[in-house]
Amino acid sequence: MKCRTCRGPAIIDLKAHNANFCAEHFLAFCREQVARAIKKHRMLAPDERVLVAVSGGKDSLAVWDLLLELGYQADGFVIGLGIGDYSETSTQYARDFAAVRGLTLHETSLRDDHGFDVPTAAAVTRRVPCSACGLSKRHLFDRAALEGGYDAVATGHNLDDEAAVLFGNALRWNTEYLARQRPVLPARDGFPRKIKPLIRLGEREMAAYCVIRGIDYIVEECPMAAGNKHLRYKEALNAIEAESPGSKHAFYHEFLARAADLFTADVDGTDAGSGALGACQRCGSPSSNEVCAFCLLVERTAGAVPVTLRERAGADR
């Protein structure tokens, strides 16, 4: 097995790209894929400041590292979600990454700064944990980016994540979600731009990238997400990919190239694309209601007895 670039011994084979690489040229390949995604989808201009949402997992630490390698001004932001040891350990990986490299990492904790945590919110609202978790993340990413004057928020969503979400949305022809599934969501109504620079790289590549770059990350998945639908869609796509390398890439990127625009009518038809929003009376964030969904969650969970983490018994199955 020889490196495509230098013909030296290769350490990884990428069947979807019909290529093998040595460590040095694999890193160069990853940088090139991110640079291509940024350029093609106009994610960032060279002088823009980006806030990277880091969970302590491989994807978000890798995207932070890659953006810095490509010369962008990138700071980190981590949210303590209060999901037991999992959250503490994952936050610590983010802190260690930043400390060793002398980077700026902003932090917030749901419990310390907002009075609740994900397990307690799930119990109070009687919904799956990922719903309070996703709502809190979106709100706090937006707020941190605007307060810090960042031009965009970057997340570590990779090709496997995006293909799995697309698969789920296409299975049900969920046209509203299909219309919004873009690698860039432009800034609007006081929300910052959102970008996903890893859409050309998969899970396996990101794990290899971290190992080669010496990036330590939390390997476990969130204990509250165990058994959720996306994990099953990923398994299904992996089975197809094994038989037919490149399928995942084609499925997602051909969707963007040929199909995504067909769904824009839905965006315009919903509140997602409509005119100016008001401001939340509590926190000032853009909101179509007097009080935004996050502040309502803070209100509902105030004073609730904290719930300690329990493994979910497949509530989302």
Strand partners, 209: none
Binding-site string for ligand AMP from residue 130 to residue 159, where x marks contact by CB under 6 A and - marks none: -------x-----------------xxx--
- Written as six digits, the tokens of 227 are 């058994």
CA distance 248 to 167: 10
In the complex, minimum distance from the CB of residue 128 to ligand FES, in angstroms, rounded to a whole number = 8
224 binds, among ligand AMP, ligand FES, Zn ion, none (CB under 5 to 8 A by kind): ligand FES
Q: Within 13 Å and on the Cβ side, how many CA atoms surround 53? A: 26
Give the integer Cα–Cα distance in Å for 57 and 87. Answer: 11
Of 225, 226, 307, 309, the one binding ligand FES (CB under 6 A) is 225
Residue type, 46: P
* 106 counts as binding ligand AMP under rule CB under 6 A: no
Write the CB contacts of 119 (distance below 8 Å, at least 6 apart in sequence): 82, 83, 84, 129, 224, 306, 307, 308, 309, 310
Question: Smaller CB distance to Zn ion: residue 29 or 97?
Answer: 29
Partner interacting with residue 155 (select from Zn ion, ligand AMP, ligand FES, none; CB below 5-8 Å by kind): ligand AMP
Footprint (CB under 5 A) of Zn ion, residues 226-285: 280, 282-283, 285
Other residues' Cβ atoms within 10 Å of the Cβ of residue 246? 14
What is the distance, to the nearest Å, from the Cα of residue 238 to the centroid of all Cα atoms in its chain? 20
- Contact with ligand AMP (CB under 6 A): which of 34, 43, 54, 152? 54
Q: x/- binding map, residues 102-141, to ligand FES, per CB under 6 A? A: ----------------x----------xx--x--------
How far apart CA 210 and CA 235 sit, in angstroms, is 22
List residues binding ligand AMP (CB under 6 A): 53-55, 59-60, 77-79, 81, 137, 155-157
